[in-house]
């Protein structure tokens, strides 16, 4: 379809005949995500509120469909790149967000930490140095005031505001630590997400939400007992990236639910279904 043909279709979006309107919308939607930049341009050029609203609805639907495709591809590829997964979640709210920009921002944080690191440090001392950079020099902190804000699930918002929830701060912690060749991974605890430093016969745990507090397996056992749960290996061992992304999306759905935005809750659940297996207990 040529630009002029698409523009002619858009000009019919204010038609009062519902049959005409359905036909026009169907033709436009069949173009898929390639139509998005054109629709955005026509939205800027059009001053009819009714047409603008219809354009917004179509753009959102096309962006949602594109995100479903990307999430499906991410799952099928095994979710190897955690930052890419966080970027995909963020594009739900920030569709123009650049993955390259996130990589550049993360690279700068890594560089700040790398400057402080010294060779042959004990694992505890490595973590203490990383803590001093992330929570001291760079001032990342727990977003206790707006704990249930949807923005806590968007990695770009965490990098901009320097405030986040347990899983967001843990992801940041993991990504920087791994770039420093530190064996730090995520652990998917009930009601809390933490990190673990694990290599050979050394393993301990890190609470990024509490400024990188170091604790032990016994502390996790006490926590599990306090919740009256049966201990499972997954409460002590690293989880994969898809598990992390699914938890971020469940947190996001919960945040929208607390805010009363039920339409967004359903959209996030649909996206979550895209990367969940049949019978997934976490879905």
For residue range 241-258, what is the model confidence (pLDDT) as tens digits? Answer: 999 999 999 999 999 999
263-268, long-range: CB within 8 Å, 24+ apart, which pairs? 267/64, 267/92, 268/92
The predicted model gives 11-23 an average pLDDT of: 78
Decide if pLDDT at 283 tops 60: no
Q: In terms of Cα–Cα distance, which of 56, 107, 60, 63 is closest to 88?
A: 63
Q: For position 1, what pLDDT does the model report?
A: 63
Q: What are phi and psi for residue 130, nearest 5 degrees?
A: -65, -40
Q: Can you spell out the DSSP letters for 98-163?
A: -HHHHHHHHHHHHHHHHHH--TT--HHHHHHHHHIIIIIIS--EE--TTTT-GGGG-HHHHHHHSE
In a shared domain, residues 223 and 267: yes
281 — pLDDT class (breaks 50, 70, 90): low
In a shared domain, residues 23 and 140: no
In a shared domain, residues 89 and 152: yes
In a shared domain, residues 178 and 161: yes
Q: In terms of Cα–Cα distance, which of 146, 148, 255, 167 is closest to 209?
A: 167
Q: Is 31 exposed, middle or buried (0-12, 13-18, 19+ CB in 10 A)?
A: middle
For residue range 93-127, what is the model confidence (pLDDT) as tens digits? Answer: 999 999 999 999 999 999 999 999 988 899 999 99
Maximal CA-CA distance, the chain: 74
The predicted model gives 33-42 an average pLDDT of: 86
In a shared domain, residues 157 and 216: yes
In a shared domain, residues 174 and 230: yes
Q: Which domain holds residue 55?
A: 3-76
For residue range 206-241, what is the model confidence (pLDDT) as tens digits? Answer: 999 999 999 999 999 999 999 999 999 999 999 999
Q: For position 64, what pLDDT does the model report?
A: 95
Determine the Cα–Cα distance for residues 52 and 43; give it in Å rounded to an integer.
6
For residue range 143-157, what is the model confidence (pLDDT) as tens digits? Answer: 999 989 999 999 999
48 vs 112, more confident: 112
Beta carbons of 22 and 12 less than 8 angstroms apart: no
In a shared domain, residues 220 and 187: yes
How many independent structural domains does the chain possess? 2
Instruction: Cite the beta strand spans of the chain per DSSP E.
Output: 141-142, 163-164, 184-189, 192-199, 202-207, 213-215
In a shared domain, residues 57 and 176: no
In a shared domain, residues 114 and 201: yes
In a shared domain, residues 148 and 174: yes
For residue range 137-189, what is the model confidence (pLDDT) as tens digits? Answer: 999 999 999 989 999 999 999 999 999 999 999 999 999 999 999 999 999 99
Q: What are phi and psi for residue 117, nearest 5 degrees?
A: -70, 145
pTM: 0.90
């Amino acid at each position: 379809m040529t630009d002029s043909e698409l523009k002619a279709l858009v000009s019919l979006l204010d038609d009062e005949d519902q049959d005409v309107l359905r036909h026009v919308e169907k033709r436009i939607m069949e173009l898929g995500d390639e139509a998005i930049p054109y629709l955005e341009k026509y939205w800027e050029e059009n001053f009819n509120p009714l047409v603008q609203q219809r354009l917004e609805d179509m753009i959102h639907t096309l962006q949602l469909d594109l995100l479903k495709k990307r999430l499906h591809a991410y799952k099928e590829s095994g979710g190897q790149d955690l930052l890419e997964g966080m970027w995909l979640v963020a594009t739900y709210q920030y569709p123009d967000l650049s993955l390259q920009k996130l990589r550049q921002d993360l690279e700068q944080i890594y560089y700040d930490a790398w400057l402080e690191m010294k060779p042959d440090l004990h694992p505890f001392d490595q973590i203490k140095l990383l803590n001093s950079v992330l929570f001291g020099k760079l001032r990342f902190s727990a977003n206790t005031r707006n704990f249930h804000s949807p923005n806590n699930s968007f990695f770009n918002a965490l990098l901009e505001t320097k405030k986040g929830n347990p899983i967001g701060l843990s992801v940041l912690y993991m990504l920087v630590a791994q770039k420093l060749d530190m064996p730090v991974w995520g652990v998917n605890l009930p009601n809390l997400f933490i990190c673990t430093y694990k290599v050979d016969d050394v393993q301990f745990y890190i609470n990024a939400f509490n400024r990188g507090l170091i604790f032990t397996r016994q502390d996790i056992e006490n926590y599990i007992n306090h919740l009256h749960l049966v201990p499972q290996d997954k409460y002590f061992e690293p989880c994969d990236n898809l598990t992390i992304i699914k938890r971020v999306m469940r947190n996001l759905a919960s945040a929208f639910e607390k805010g009363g935005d039920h339409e967004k809750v359903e959209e996030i659940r649909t996206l979550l279904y895209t990367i969940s297996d049949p019978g997934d207990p976490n879905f």
